[in-house]
Amino acid sequence: MVIDDLNKNGGLLGTQVQLVPYDTRGDGTEAVNAVKRLTGQDKVIGIIGPNASGQAIPISSVLEEMKVPDIATVATNPKVTIVDGKVKPYNFRVCFIDPYQGAAAAGYAFDVLKAKNAAILYDVADDYSQGLTQFFEKTFTEKGGKIVAKEAFKTGDVDFRAPLTKIKESNPDVIFMPYFFKEVALSSKQARELGIKATLMGGDGWPSEQLISMAKDAVEGSYFVNHLDFNDPEVAGFRTKYKTAFGKDVELNGFLAYDATNMLIDAVKRANSFDPIKITAALETTNMTGITGKIVIGKDTHNPENKDAAIIKIVNGEYIFQQKYAVH
């Protein structure tokens, strides 16, 4: 959609932009093959996506070999941009990272919700979930809270009552559920079925139309960490435009993809060139405001620095923005 607008308005630096889309099917190997094709065959100047860290990490060697920059959208694993203390020259991202998200959730739970005991239910087969869990646990205990239960399941599981019963037993104030909306819907419903009354919390994998349609009552009064406030008036314009163009509500990834695309376009304009190497250099000094917040790319990390996390509460099936929370 962004590309279409851009082309309508005279294109980028005077040329029309073409979008070459590939689906990585959530698989790291597919991602590598796709990126090889994009860089070698299609000769793209920049890549938007992939969305998951599991794919963003393996493509870095291809990017370095072909010298083409990539902006990951929702890849939150720190290793996407930094490995062994060194930043990867061609990987960037437009979202905040797991450590930040997990810590934000923990901080909010302890400081604002005044939770003393927390339980965690996480997906052991998912790197995103493991990442958030690790940092939630760290921050929560550092602040003086206690993790009373830490149970796991595997992606694809549909029945969570065994671990949930154990969690119920431990009587937590808050249950952290850092995984994606499908499992969230199922597990939250089952939790309520079991009579669990604790407040539920989650990360940016939560927001989705299906979460509300499936588990509206179960997630009533829950909180989650998000990249932005959906109801922010600045965002509303984008949402309507999206809905008109595609007939559906925009999902989280859409917001970030929008920002990522604009980040790339901004870099091209500043580099005033289509040379991927120059674009990469320009990306390193990005300082713009996207619909997901301020995006200031740190040269050493290629991550947006100090990006605000938004805490959202689900009330009556609506996402109500609570506050911006920064990790101390």
Interface residue list for another protein (CB under 8 A): 22-23, 25, 27-29, 32-34, 36-37, 39-41, 43, 53-54, 57-58, 60-62, 65-66, 77, 79, 83-84, 123-127, 130-131, 151-154, 156-159, 161-163, 165-166, 169, 182, 185-186, 189, 193-195, 210, 213-214, 217
Q: How far is the CB of 314 from another protein (least distance, A)?
A: 17
- CB 270 → another protein: shortest distance, Å? 28
Provide, rounded to whole angstroms, the least separation between the CB of residue 319 and another protein.
19
Q: In the complex, what is the shortest distance from the CB of residue 325 to another protein, in angstroms, rounded to a whole number?
A: 25
Residue 12 or residue 214: which is nearer to another protein going by CB?
Answer: 214
State residue 165 phi and psi, 5-degree precision.
Answer: -60, -40
Question: Is the preceding peptide bond at 50 cis, omega within 30 degrees of 0?
Answer: yes
Least distance in Å: CB of 147 to another protein? 15
* Complex with another protein: residue 103 or 267, whichever CB lies closer: 103
Q: Which is nearer to another protein, 16 or 29 (CB)?
A: 29
